[in-house]
Amino acid sequence: MNRRDLLKNLLIIPPGIFLGGLFLKTLSLLKKTPLGKISLESIYGKYNPHAHYYAMGIDIDKCIGCGRCVEACKIENNVPREPFFFRTWVERYVITVDGETKVDSPEGGIHGFPETLSEKEILRTFFVPKLCNHCDNPPCVQVCPVGATYKTIDGVVLVDKDYCIGCRYCIQACPYGARYLHPETHTADKCTFCYHRIVKGLQPACVEVCPTGARIFGEVKPRNNPLARFVRFNKLGVLKPYLNTGPKVYYANLDKEVT
Amino acid sequence: MEELFERLAFSVKEVTGFIYPNEIELHWSILIVVYPYLTGLVAGAFILASLERVFNVKEVEPTYRLSLLTALAFLIVAPLPLVAHLGHPERAFEIFLTPNFRSAMAMFGFVYAWYLLVVLLVELWFEYRKDIVVWSKKEKGLKKVIYLILTLGASDLSEKSIQFDKKAGKLITIIGIPSAFLLHGYVGFIFGSVKANPWWSSVLMPVVFLFSAIVSGIALMILLYMVITLFRRKPVDMSCMDKLASFLLYAMILDFSLENLDFIHRIYESEESIKILYQLLISKLFISMVVIQILLGTIVPMVFLAWTKLARLPDELRRLIYFGSAILTLIGIFSIRWNVVIGGQLFSKSLRGLTTYKMELLGIEGLLVALLFLVLPFIILYILVALFPPWKEAEVELEA
């Protein structure tokens, strides 16, 4: 072997091994799901994801901070009970007469909120339910190195727990703190809009249990839809609009103090 | 899991102000501090080695081969903390097989493979080929087999082929410099491109990472060279040391200027995050940033190194200053990595509160494992040096 051949080999062999591996992997994937058989129907059944585009509305003035949504979410989605993991939580904002803003969310608001200040000291106060914003331009999806987190056709951001490698880049990239690492699966986890329910035409658990109707789930486009009404009759805000994430959780009566 | 909950329950008590409930768990631990530190040393050592090759800086020749071996030893270890930190290490290979091309992190595999397989190993091979061929004839037993395999069948020692080695080596070095820039600039980009985090999100991040990498690489080579010559009972090549120290000083001045630019820019723009970042700096990061990174890790070595330039100091004293400065610099650069990675997670993205990092001692993401990853490159380097002595005297002179 002369030098030139050797150099050639050096340039060919390592990428060759890599491409060969890629080829074999593709083959094994094809065996599992033969090409051509992957259709939306095989995943969704009769449900047509192209016919929907989901979003949520939250009327801050209606939220009473009871924490039922947090509880319902934990039960419905097997979110660990410990107060460090939430798919949804409620924050309380208290702006005092001194102009100070106090924010708290004891155990995510799951047991409600203890009274802390007397009425005299309070200028204004309100509760803000939070969850994944299912962004139209989601930074978490952008950074996922393996594509385990993705946007569905019907506009929901999901995590494939069988594929997530647990690098936690998505948790860092989410500006809203909506993600956590599930302590059992060691993969990223977050709100799914209760995807397993909505594809059956049901409401997300948090919406279902809200006693005041502060959470409105639905679609923006069809006019005969609770969310479409909500969007038509309210002035709306989203969280951190300057980050250009395009949140799809719309807040009515959003205060400037909310971050 | 119980241990995790206990740790989180402790962290809750340390929170000041308000943080999102999911932010109580701090996700990128000390292992993610070690990772950019290691790649930085790789890039720095390689760029230093390239100086001799590409820019013909003859004085630093005694460290040329040692720098390459050091870069390799650290590069081998660099991905280990990353893999160890994953929730599913067994799925790590998916980054190669099904990468999401929009993800900065997905490019890691390719940048790393390019650097290891195309740049570093090939450059080392061309540099050592002649010696490997000779050793494969001279040595016995296992060593002989290793050398024989490493010749890859290219045992030609004619004048022409040696010349070819030199040319090829130079070409690879020229490709290698931008590759080393890419390797570490890219690591900076992983942090700098996170718009959700105002402490990280900065276009200067890759540049600052790069220059701090060069600083740490030079400091490491000064330290290694001095320690190794001490153990080999050889005289220290002072012209080499003086040159390295000069490079260290210049790189530090550049690095420090860039960091100050970033700092001043932030204060002057005074965006909404400025209050919480100020709180972060004066409380949680005061020791690691103001005292260790800036004062001990940068200003003190810079002043001492500048002193050796301005005054004629005896060799003994200069050696002492170089040695001390190199150690302080290495600690300083480690604290830069710490302040970026950990610091960036100590404040809430609600910009309303601060949290604490409670480091594990024994766990997979604990202090001991981190120390292991910091020591491991030196063990690998020891083996590499034993197999491929990087000294001038060990180089084989061919009989004409």
pLDDT of the residue at A1: 52
Instruction: Output b/e per residue, B247-256; b: 16+ Cβ within 10 A.
Output: bbbebbbbbb
Report d(CA A132, CA A116) in Å as an integer: 28
- Do the domain assignments include residue B393? no
Per-residue pLDDT at B400: 43
Task: Please indicate, yes or no, if residue B200 is contained in any of the structural domains.
Answer: yes
Q: Say if B253 is an interface residue toward chain A (CB within 8 Å).
A: no
Question: What are the pLDDT digits (tens) for B240-279?
Answer: 999 999 999 999 999 999 999 999 999 999 999 999 999 9
Chain-centre distance of CA A233, in angstroms?
25
Residue B120 near residue B46 (C-beta atoms within 8 A) = yes
d(CA B358, CA A59): 38
* Residue stretches of chain B with pLDDT short of 70: 393-400
pLDDT digit string (tens) for chain A, length 259 residues = 565 665 566 566 666 666 776 677 666 665 655 555 567 888 888 899 999 999 999 999 999 999 999 999 999 999 999 999 999 999 999 999 999 999 999 999 999 999 888 889 999 999 999 999 999 999 999 999 999 999 999 999 999 999 999 999 999 999 999 999 999 999 999 999 999 999 999 999 999 999 999 999 999 888 788 999 999 999 999 999 999 999 999 999 999 999 9
Has residue B53 been placed in a domain? yes
* E strands in B304-392: 353-354
Supply the pTM of this predicted model: 0.91
pLDDT tens-digit series, residues B354-384:
999 988 888 888 999 999 999 999 999 999 9
Q: What is the pLDDT of residue A43?
A: 84
Domain tally, chain B: 1
Whether B392 is in a domain gets the answer no
Closest partner residue to B194 among A146, A167, A172, by Cβ?
A172
Residue A62's Cβ-side half-sphere holds a number of Cα atoms within 13 Å equal to: 15
For residue B380, give the CATH number of its domain: 1.20.1630.10
Q: Note down the domain range covering B144.
A: 7-386
Q: Name the minimum distance, in Å, from the CA of B41 to any CA of chain A.
A: 23
Find residue A59's DSSP bridge partners: A252
CB proximity A213 to B under 8 Å: no
Domain contains B394: no
Backbone angles phi, psi at A250, to 5 degrees: -100, 130
Distance CA B332, CA A42 (A): 56
Chain B residues within an 8 Å CB radius of A171: 22, 27
B400 belongs to a structural domain: no
Lookup result for tokens 């190794």: B228
Contact A21 B97 (CB under 8 A): yes
In a domain, B336, yes or no: yes
Write out chain A residues lying below 8 Å of B87, CB-based. 164-168, 181, 185-187
Separation in Å, CA of B237 to nearest CA in chain A: 35
Chain B CB contacts of A130 under 8 Å are: 20
Q: Please, what is the end-to-end C-alpha distance for chain B in angstroms? A: 68
Measured CA distances, B390 to A4, A34, B27, B239 (Å):
26, 54, 40, 18
The confidence score (pLDDT) of residue B164 equals 92
**Residue B123 at interface with chain A, using a CB cutoff of 8 Å:** no
